[in-house]
């Protein structure tokens, strides 16, 4: 992989996440008392920024938080990870976003969230930092912020010649006008089904769904398939990248590690064929650790893991 300075701009969500580890997910109306508590920063945007940073990228993050202790907590975390805090917009209009997740020992989860300040990240706010578009090599967005902001960001990134990646989380239908702007969209199986109506259960059906998205304007599609790896499609060919075998204990954060790894690899000058194994390896190692933010691996750990597979 080339050694260009990997500069990644993430425009997306920031939450404080409350996670309860439970022996089983509750049935309707049931209360489970035997839970372990974890409170940490998170959100798709913030997670992917940290994942890319730990994999060696220089990262800038643009997001929105409230003027409250949770917003201060997010700023402190960004600083600790080596990500400048200037892009974190503090708003008086809403509190910092809060997410609550229940997770069972198999990694299955139930979640609810209050978007709070994330919905205040409108294009007028994000434009304060549009100078970062000329700095970045890769722009990474998700859809836990207003869609008009995502569309503005990707369109502006394209004007500046920045490679754009869209993680379409949470699952929802997207307009063709947005799809036609992105260089790569990275749905998981459920999101690919929501976007296309194709039931995705493996590489074959992922290829069919990917072709649908290419036909709607996306230049490239990567469908992440968990233990079955990832399917890459650019309209002329479809390549399956198998997952790396690991003893997984928690799947939380694997998708964010994948997207952060993909962005970091491409920003460093790597090809898609080089960046995808890096992303798969980052996701695999994340699954071997409990939690989300703390589970993202360092670049040296990923490289050591990949070397171990070649022995």
Helix (H, G, I), strand (E, B) or coil at 164: strand
DSSP-assigned beta bridge partners for residue 58: 7
Return the SS3 of 79: helix
Q: Annotate 67-121 with DSSP letters as a single string.
A: SSHHHHHHHHHHHHTT--STTEEEESSSPPEEEEEEE-TTS-EEEEEE-GGGGG-
Provide the strand spans (E) within 180-304: 184-185, 221-224, 230-233, 238-241
CA distances from 1 to 5, 38, 197, 265, 282 (A): 12, 37, 36, 8, 16
Q: How many CB atoms lie within 10 A of CB 54?
A: 24
* Cα 32 → chain centroid: 30
Continuous segment of H or E residues that includes residue 285 = helix 272-287
* Other CB atoms within 10 Å distance of the CB of residue 103: 24
DSSP state of 63: E
**Do 111 and 103 touch, CB atoms closer than 8 A?**
no
Q: Determine the 3-state secondary structure of 45 from DSSP.
A: helix
Token pair belonging to 281: 């390896």
Q: Burial of 90 by CB count in 10 Å (0-12 exposed, 13-18 middle, 19+ buried)?
A: middle
Give me the active site residues, please: 256
């Amino acid at each position: 992989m080339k050694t260009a300075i990997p500069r990644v701009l993430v425009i997306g969500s920031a939450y404080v996440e409350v996670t309860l580890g439970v022996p089983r997910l509750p049935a309707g109306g049931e209360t489970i008392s035997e839970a372990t508590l974890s409170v940490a920063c998170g959100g798709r945007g913030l997670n992917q920024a940290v994942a890319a940073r730990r994999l060696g990228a220089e990262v800038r993050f643009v997001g929105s938080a409230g003027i409250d202790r949770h917003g201060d907590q997010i700023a402190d975390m960004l600083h600790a990870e080596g990500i400048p805090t200037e892009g974190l917009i503090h708003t008086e209009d809403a509190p910092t976003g809060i997410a609550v997740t229940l997770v069972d020992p198999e990694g299955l989860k139930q979640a609810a969230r209050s978007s709070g300040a994330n919905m205040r990240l409108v294009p007028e706010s994000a434009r304060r930092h549009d100078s970062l578009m000329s700095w970045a090599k890769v722009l990474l967005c998700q859809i836990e912020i207003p869609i008009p902001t995502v569309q503005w960001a990707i369109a502006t990134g394209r004007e500046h010649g920045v490679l754009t990646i869209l993680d379409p989380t949470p699952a929802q239908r997207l307009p063709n006008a947005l799809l036609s702007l992105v260089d790569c969209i990275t749905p998981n199986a459920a999101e690919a089904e929501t976007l296309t109506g194709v039931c995705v259960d493996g590489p074959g059906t992922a290829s069919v769904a990917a072709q649908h998205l290419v036909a709607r304007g996306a230049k490239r599609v990567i469908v992440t398939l968990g233990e079955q790896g990832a399917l890459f499609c650019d309209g002329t060919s479809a390549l399956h990248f198998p997952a790396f075998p690991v003893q997984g204990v928690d799947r939380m954060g694997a998708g964010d590690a994948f997207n952060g790894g993909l962005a970091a690899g491409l920003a460093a000058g790597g090809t898609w064929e080089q960046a995808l194994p890096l992303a798969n390896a980052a996701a695999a190692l994340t699954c071997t650790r409990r939690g989300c933010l703390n589970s993202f691996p360092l670049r040296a750990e990923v490289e050591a893991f990949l070397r171990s597979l070649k022995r």
